[in-house]
């Protein structure tokens, strides 16, 4: 009985994590490809202009933190301050991490009026920004 249960668990696990893709060349072969997670990560790093006050930085933090309550396409959100001891931050101090279920949801977020309003708050204080989006594996 345990053998049958283990076989069923493995079969279920295999079909949910792996997809088989056929190669259509002269010698057909199969290869295993990891299935893509359904969540899109959006990572935003800020470097503030020299001399930006703590009060202005706090306003930016609060404005970004308000976005998930205004834009329903953001399914999760977190942020934090750089504390890496490695010294490779290139002046970027703030990391904001958003999750979307699809590229369509991200496409709604980017031009969203509340996102644009946030940009107006951030703009005068921003020295540089780095954005990386990726599908988790």
Residue pLDDT tens, the chain, 137 long? 444 443 333 333 333 333 333 333 444 454 444 445 579 999 999 999 999 999 999 999 999 999 999 999 999 999 999 999 999 999 999 999 999 999 999 999 999 999 999 999 999 999 999 999 999 98
Cα–Cα nearest to 80, from 93, 89, 69, 68: 93
pLDDT of residue 38: 77
pLDDT of residue 35: 47
pLDDT of residue 37: 54
Half-sphere exposure of 90 (CA within 13 A, CB side): 7
For 40-135, give the CATH class. Answer: alpha beta
pLDDT of residue 17: 38
Which residue ranges make up each domain of the chain? 2-34, 40-135
CA distance linking residue 121 with residue 70, whole number of Å: 16
CA distance linking residue 87 with residue 80, whole number of Å: 17
Full-model pTM: 0.72
Most distant CA pair in the chain, distance: 69
Three-state SS sequence of the chain: CHHHHHHHHHHHHHHHHEEEEECCCCCCCEEEEECCCCCEEEEEEEEECCCCCHHHHHHHHHHHHHHHHHCCCCCEEEEEECCCCCCCCCCCCEEEEEEECCHHHHHHHCCCHHHHHHHHHHHHHEEEEEEEEEECC
Q: Are 43 and 100 in contact (CB under 8 A)?
A: no
> How far is residue 18 from each of residues 6, 24, 118, measured CA to CA in Å?
18, 19, 40
């Amino acid at each position: 009985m345990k053998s049958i249960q283990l076989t069923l668990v493995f079969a279920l696990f295999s079909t949910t994590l792996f997809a088989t893709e056929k190669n259509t060349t002269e010698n057909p072969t199969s290869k295993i490809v990891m299935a893509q997670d359904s969540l899109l990560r959006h990572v935003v790093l800020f470097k503030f202009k020299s001399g930006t006050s703590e009060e202005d930085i706090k306003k930016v933090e609060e404005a970004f933190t308000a976005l998930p309550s205004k834009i329903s396409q953001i399914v999760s959100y977190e942020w934090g301050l750089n504390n890496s001891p490695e010294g490779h931050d290139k002046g970027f101090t703030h990391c904001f991490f958003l999750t979307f279920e699809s590229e369509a949801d991200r496409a709604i977020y980017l031009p969203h009026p509340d996102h644009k309003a946030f940009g107006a708050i951030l703009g005068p204080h921003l020295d540089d920004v780095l954005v990386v989006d990726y599908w988790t594996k």
